[in-house]
Amino acid sequence: MDQDRTLEQIAADYARHRAAAVESTQRVAEVSATVTSPQGLVTATVGGQGELRSLTFNSQDYRKMAPAELSRILVETVGRARESALQQMLGALPSTGIAGMSVRDMMAGRIDWDRVLPEQLDISGFNLPGRTA
């Protein structure tokens, strides 16, 4: 029956899209970026949301620096790490949103994929031609 085949195709497409969404979310959760300042003074590691996970001073040279210079190096290094993490996240996500959700919502972790795309698709409420409820 053509209609059954169509429903099977819809269910297969749904399962494929759901799996891709779940996989993208998992990849985003694993994002981490580490950057060392050009002078090698400091190394910063950030997570997928840009949160600072670690900051390591690679020498004692920072003690001789003016506070403004040290601050500039720290801000620039953390900023480069955040940009690297953002690029990784964008690479882990589809170019457009899924299920009407924006990439920004996906990046911020504000999507409950089990609610948006449940594992089992319930089509019992659909009024399809040739199908009795």
Tens of pLDDT, residues 84-109: 998 888 777 666 666 667 666 776 77
Q: Which residues pair with 55 in a beta bridge?
A: 44
Cβ partners under 8 Å of residue 56, min gap 6: 42, 43, 44
CA distance 47 to 84: 10
Q: Are 30 and 93 in contact (CB under 8 A)?
A: no
Confidence of residue 2 (pLDDT cuts 50, 70, 90): low
- pLDDT at residue 129 above 70? no
What pLDDT was estimated at residue 64?
95
- pLDDT at residue 133 above 80? no
SS3 of 81, please? Answer: helix
SS3 of 43, please? Answer: strand
Side by side, the strands of the sheet bearing 42-47 are 32-36, 42-47, 52-57
What average pLDDT does the segment 54-74 reach? 96
Specify burial of residue 22 (Cβ count, 10 A radius: 0-12, 13-18, 19+): middle
- pLDDT, tens digit (0-9, with 9 covering 90-100), for 10-61: 888 888 878 877 887 788 788 899 999 999 999 999 998 889 999 999 999 9
Q: Are 7 and 123 in contact (CB under 8 A)?
A: yes
| % of the chain residues with pLDDT over 70 | 76
Pick the CATH number of 2-116 from 3.30.70.270, 3.40.50.80, 3.30.1310.10, 3.30.390.50: 3.30.1310.10
Confidence (pTM): 0.60
